[in-house]
Structure 1
């Protein structure tokens, strides 16, 4: 029953009670006459429900208790009784150095056909914490049998040393070289010379001083300046003095990025028969950035160079990318540099050179190459390169038209060639190793000369070395050389024959201090001509003993 019904019932009940009371009064007052009465209804009853109460709920997190609880632990004591008593610690004595004493000194003596004495000796200080030094001496000579005046001698002496400071290392060396040859490239049937008239002796004195810091880590600043002075002269009163200074610096700036620069000062003065001085200078700066990452190497730099009274900005860019980690590496580059055509450098290439010609220029070489290299397994390694090479102002050796036994130079303004270089090697620890290399040049364009005089287009070499029972050491060297063009006095030209040559050697250790050795050269007995009119020695053999102490 709802609230409305309850109110209704209450209203009817009250009305009934009122009506009963009125009737009762009327009965009491029955004698009175009836009066007319009226009931005024002011308003009707309208029941109304009261508004219901609504609960307003608001969710909130409880407060965070930031107080640090005080926890107390009680660990009962546990007494352990050990039957074993440990022995007291005592320092052990340092063991002796397991490295054996170095055999820093040796003397090697021998003799062979062509009246060939052979002397070689070396002396060193051994392991030193503060300094070390060494002395080396070498002498050999031969006298030809088939061709008179085919004689030569070679003397070399070098003293060098290093002084170690906590943060620096100082290096110094002093060397002397004396090389004597004879101009035997003439017609021996029609002309005779005294040996003193055709003998040529080159003397070289070299003094060098260097300094480098000893950084403790790769991030340190590194520098290694060197200064070299070279005095060079021959039997014909030709002198050349050279001063060379190199100042390389290097700094690691990030984990795999290095910056470096090198200043080069190569200054030479040549003088012949009390004539005028000829200066030949090369000054260069080599700034570069090296990025070295696993599987990727980039060397990017430039070579600003001043020489021949001109300025050159040369490229120096080399990249190596691992296509297959360490097994297949793509190598490419674009580099350019100068070969200095000093008298000493040219005479080292061709000792039968008759001085410098006036106005000789230094050679600018430009190479653009690509190739692959890498390792196969743990023993094989290979390297290949295909390049386009251009030489600017290349000196070519030709026989002097007035006297064929001498050589002079011709300037080739621009010589181009494609080069193919390949080498494959195999090495098995110290027991066995073999390597084959070859270089092939396709000289396809020259602007000044008719042919690339005395430049062999192909050279190959196969070297093998084997050690048996750590006592017997065997080696062999087989090489091939193609013929090259030469020019005749009437401006005609010819070509020398190619050649195969082989050298072999053996040595056997007798105990710790003695060794016997034997070297055989030109086993095929081929009298080939690297320089026209100058055939080489035939088969020659030299053997002897070496003492180490």
Structure 2
């Protein structure tokens, strides 16, 4: 039975009962009040909605219109007349893949006053992937006019080559040098010598071999050992054999920190006639750490050195700090090193040396300096330094008291000086460049000698070069030299005069393979003396041709 039927039946029962009660009330009014009736609810009403009807819709795309629309454009004609006609566009030509041809060979010939022939030649292999080589030859000489026997000649021959492998590079060279001078520093009014008696010829044969690894990146381990053999002799049966070995090693440990070690061995043996051989050996190891940061560079190391069996621990500290980036750099350092007093090195300084007096002590140099350097604008650069320099066991050249046209050496135990160095340069691409520099020494203390014999206190240099239309090259070089003290046989001393010396030159490229050149030296025609009794040539000029192919 559903809820609606029960509800209708309940209503009917309630209605019947009510109707019956009403009848009893009407017939028996005197009777007692009717009793209350109770209603029993069988169940509660729970309405329920009917299930909704769902519509299923299926969407579909409209059909594709494949017909091509027909569009028409109408552009009105513009009748404009321009006076300027633009050039047609053309593509730029691409550069050639191969490099331009190099002129690897040249011959330079010339002649000048003082009967001066000049020959210079160079021959090279050019660009090669695995090797390259070259040969260089130079010869010049002069005969004095004002002073007899003021003759000299100089011959240089050098052959060098390089062989490249993927991981290594090998270098080798062999050279020969022949330098002839004459002892012309004597009184020509009172003495006369034959050429063979005053001629001095130095012969030097040099052979070297080196190797270097080719790292693939900056962090790689690099090393570059090099071996050199030098045979040196002169006309008076003095011989000196030298063996040199350098082994530098370098490794980057951090992005801006490098460590390096260099071993140096310089062994020499000097012998004159049948006298006892004199050995002069230097060995050293240079460990150091380099810190390179933007605006800050520090090189900190030491130089443990053995000179003829004696040990020295030398400082090697250099610092550069940028006060203003690249424009103002503070540079300072404390360094010490040895200058070897071999016969070859001393003869290169003074070719009129009469051999070694005996066992020589090598010179130990100690420098403590500070200065500023940097750039000004895009063309100027400068460098200044103020230093305190001390030389220990410094050889000084003095005229031999028995034969004043030759020089001997005297040992200065300790020589001190203040040094002032200045340099300013200007560069404008390849068109013009100029540089002026000077060194001034204030020798303030000698322990052994009275004066620093033949050491000039001031040296200056002004150089300029100018190029016109990339064909005409002009250059000039002005030297300034102060006088120096010299020792007389009677133990007295004098001082040479200072001097100015101006050199100038020019070269012109007539064609790609042919050119002309000229050099003029000592334009002031001053016969100054770098060493006492040995005046220089006066004005001299040399010119010739240059052939390149």
TM-score by structure 2 length? 0.83
Residues 466-485 of structure 1 aligned to structure 2 (within 5 Å): 466-485=466-485
Aligned to 2:195: 195
Residue matched to 1:421: 421
Long gaps (5+) in structure 2:
1-60, 69-93
Distance in 1 of aligned mates of 2:496 and 2:309: 38
Instruction: Tell me the secondary structure at the aligned position of residue 345 of structure 2.
Output: helix
Deviation at 1:358, TM superposition (A): 1.1
Determine the C-alpha separation between the residues in 1 that align with 2:428 and 2:282: 44
How far 1:491 moved relative to its partner?
Answer: 0.1
Shift of 1:178: 0.1
Give per-residue Cα distances to partners, 1:259-305, cap 9 Å, x unaligned: 00000000000000121000000000000000000000000000000
Map 1:43-442 onto structure 2 (within 5 A): 96-442=96-442
What do you get for the CA RMSD once the two structures are aligned? 1.7
Matches within 5 A, 1:20-31: none
Provide the rounded CA distance (Å) in 2 between the counterparts of 1:97 and 1:264.
45
Q: Secondary structure at the match of 1:286?
A: strand
Q: Distance in 1 between matches of 2:349 and 2:321?
A: 35
**C-alpha displacement at 1:79, in angstroms?**
12
Corresponding position of 2:495: 495
Secondary structure at 1:128's aligned position in 2? coil
Equivalent residue, structure 1, for 2:522? 522
- 2:17 match: none
CA–CA separation in structure 2 for the residues paired with 1:490 and 1:286: 46
2:71 matched residue in structure 1: none
- Deviation for aligned residue 1:309: 2.3
- In the alignment, structure 1 segments of 5+ residues that lack a partner are 1-74, 82-93
Match of 1:38 in 2: none
State the shift of 1:226 in Å. 0.1
- 1:11-37 CA-partner distances (Å, limit 9, x unpaired): xxxxxxxxxxxxxxxxxxxxxxxxxxx
CA distance in 2 between counterparts of 1:79 and 1:271 reads 110
Task: Compute the displacement of 1:98 (Å).
Answer: 4.9
Rounded Cα–Cα distance in structure 2 between residues aligned with 1:353 and 1:475: 34
Instruction: Please state how far the C-alpha of 1:537 moved relative to its aligned partner.
Output: 0.1
Offset, 1:216: 1.0
Question: Which deviations, in whole Å up to 9, do the C-alpha atoms of 1:155-191 show, x marking residues without a partner?
Answer: 0000000000010000000000000000000000010
Give the whole-Å Cα distance in 2 for the aligned partners of 1:309 and 1:525. 49
User: 1:279–1:115: structure 2 CA closer, same or farther, 3 Å change rule?
Assistant: same
